[in-house]
Amino acid sequence: MRIWPALLLVGLLSAGCSSGSDAPATTPPASGGGTACSTVEVPAHEGVDVEAVGLDCAAAGDVVRGAEGLGRAAYEVDGFTCTPSPAPDGDTFYDCLGEGDQRVTFRYGTA
């Protein structure tokens, strides 16, 4: 009885169905029904698809501007901790958590 061809096939199929993924994210982190804010201009960059939960758009803009000059690094500003993840076209998604239910999400890239 030849079992090895069947085992090889099962191994190859399961390798292609791995739960982990090295592909960049293609959608921003969900913030959960916040307020859509306008684009935030930062020198040579911009924050787009800005969404604020638990704070107004002016305060959210300050959080977005905190990403200036940091590359794609995590950062802290005004009580928010901002975590980056890859976005298409070399941009970065940021998910920024503040106190309580405060949250700012946005896509950051070259203007």
Summarize pLDDT for 70-86 with one digit per residue, the tens. Answer: 989 999 999 999 999 99
Q: Is the pLDDT of residue 27 over 60?
A: no
Strand 35-36 versus strand 80-86 pairing type? unpaired
> What does each C-alpha distance from 38 to 24, 56, 94 come to in angstroms?
25, 11, 16
Question: Please, are residues 32 and 59 in contact by the beta-carbon 8 Å criterion?
Answer: no
26-30, 67-71, 96-100: least confident range: 26-30
- Single pTM value for the model: 0.73
Backbone dihedral region of 71: left (phi > 0), alpha (psi from -120 to 50 degrees) or beta?
left
**What residues does 2 pair with on adjacent strands?**
none
Q: Is the pLDDT of residue 89 over 70?
A: yes
